[in-house]
């Protein structure tokens, strides 16, 4: 093979390698919103749920990101643990873990909720997937003892696994009937917009802290 031809081959290989590297760099940052009806967009229209609104807000800030919703209405922490592995695909960079509200509403012992969330965090850590833990608060009618046990789950686990914590997923919406549906629990489209606006800085920090998947 002549020198010029060999040089041309090397040049072609270099261009191809650069193209592959560029394609890899062009992959969007992948987020999975993993939770219950609050993540699933209960009774909301297309594009009005939390994952879609979050994706739009991040893209508006120049982030190349895809946010996939993996919320199941009525899901408990036990249900979430059972479906975690197949609901969060390989290549996910960050999971927003939002579960526990249905455990609380059903009066499930906080110890079981914590055990399930702990197992989910452990699995995601093993898979080298970043996590943003979205906390929940116990309803006042469940009493002070239950609230203390339940509310403490999220900061304990965030500290144990060294993951960022957003203390209350419904912050700014809970108790505001103008932002809630008639059931008094699920946010309206306007309520979701408030949730996204309040949580956005925490999500961006979590994205910057979580390494991209390989």
Write the pLDDT tens digit of every residue in 2-42.
545 544 444 445 444 444 444 445 799 999 999 999 999 99
With beta carbons less than 8 A apart as the criterion, state whether 44 and 189 touch: yes
Query: What is the rounded (10 degree) CA torsion for 154, 137, 172, 67?
Result: 50
208 catalytic? Reply is no
With beta carbons less than 8 A apart as the criterion, state whether 61 and 208 touch: no
Say what the pLDDT of residue 2 is.
Answer: 57
pTM surpassing 0.85? yes
With beta carbons less than 8 A apart as the criterion, state whether 135 and 168 touch: yes
Of 36, 52, 103, 186, the catalytic one is 186
Say what the pLDDT of residue 26 is.
Answer: 79
Say what the pLDDT of residue 214 is.
Answer: 52
Residue 63, classed as helix, strand or coil, is coil
Residue 22 to residue 14: CA distance in whole angstroms: 12
Say what the pLDDT of residue 1 is.
Answer: 52
151 catalytic? Reply is no
Q: Flag residues of the chain having pLDDT under 50.
A: 3, 6-12, 14-24
Contacts of 180 (CB under 8 A, 6+ apart): 173, 174, 186, 187, 188, 191
Say what the pLDDT of residue 20 is.
Answer: 45
Say what the pLDDT of residue 9 is.
Answer: 44
Q: Which residues of 85-100 are buried (b: 16+ CB within 10 A; e: fewer)?
A: eebbeeebbbbbbbbb
In the chain the beta strands, taken as DSSP E runs, fall at 29-35, 65-71, 94-98, 130-134, 165-166
Count other C-beta atoms under 10 Å from residue 64's C-beta: 11
Of 37, 52, 93, 103, the catalytic one is 37
Of 90, 182, 183, 208, the catalytic one is 183
With beta carbons less than 8 A apart as the criterion, state whether 185 and 114 touch: no
Distances (CA, A) of 160 to 2, 39, 94, 125, 129: 62, 24, 18, 12, 16
CATH architecture under which domain 28-209 falls? 3-Layer(aba) Sandwich (3.40)
213 catalytic? Reply is no
Say what the pLDDT of residue 92 is.
Answer: 98
Kindly give the pairing relationship between strand 165-166 and strand 130-134. parallel
Residue 135 to residue 133: CA distance in whole angstroms: 6
């Amino acid at each position: 093979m002549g020198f010029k031809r060999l040089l041309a081959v090397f040049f072609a290989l270099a261009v191809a390698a650069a193209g592959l590297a560029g394609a890899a760099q062009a992959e969007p940052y992948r987020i999975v919103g993993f939770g219950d009806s609050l993540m699933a967009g209960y009774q909301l229209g297309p594009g009005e749920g939390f994952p879609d609104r979050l994706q739009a807000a991040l893209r508006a800030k120049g982030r190349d990101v895809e946010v996939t919703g993996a919320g199941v209405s009525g899901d408990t922490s036990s249900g979430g643990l059972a479906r975690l592995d197949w609901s969060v695909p390989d290549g996910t960079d960050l999971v927003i873990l939002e579960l526990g509200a249905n455990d609380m509403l059903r009066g499930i012992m906080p110890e079981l909720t914590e055990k399930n969330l702990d197992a989910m965090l452990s699995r995601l850590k093993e898979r080298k997937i970043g996590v943003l833990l979205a906390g929940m608060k116990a309803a006042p009618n469940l009493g002070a003892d239950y609230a203390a046990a339940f509310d403490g789950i999220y900061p304990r686990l965030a500290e144990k696994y060294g993951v960022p914590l957003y203390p209350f997923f419904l912050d700014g919406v809970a108790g505001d009937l103008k932002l809630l549906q008639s059931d008094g629990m699920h946010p309206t489209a306007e309520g979701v917009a408030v949730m996204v606006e309040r949580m956005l800085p925490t999500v961006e920090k979590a994205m910057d802290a979580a390494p991209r998947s390989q």
